[in-house]
Amino acid sequence: MLFTASLSKLSSESISVFVKLVNGRYGEEVHKLLADHDLAPVLYGVSDLEGAPKAYVMEYLDPRLG
């Protein structure tokens, strides 16, 4: 599942992000490698709470700008 959300920064600014919820395996290291080469959105962080899918928070890329 993929959805958009707002991420608040310490400076009280917020930015739009994508959040991807994953049950099971996800290629986090591959994602980071692709992002390093501008082939995937930057991965800001991962939340792994017991009993919930892993949440990958990443840079928002506007699909209209393709």
pLDDT in tens, the chain (66 residues): 889 999 887 777 888 999 999 998 888 999 999 999 999 999 999 999 999 999 999 999 887 776
Q: What is the CATH number of the domain that holds 27?
A: 3.30.200
| Entry pTM | 0.82
The residue behind tokens 């393709």 is 66
The helix (run of H) or strand (run of E) holding residue 9 is none
* Contacts with 57 (C-beta within 8 Å, 6 or more apart), sequence order: 5, 7, 17, 18, 19, 43, 44, 45, 46, 47
Whole domain around residue 6: which residue ranges?
Answer: 2-65
Number of domains in the chain: 1
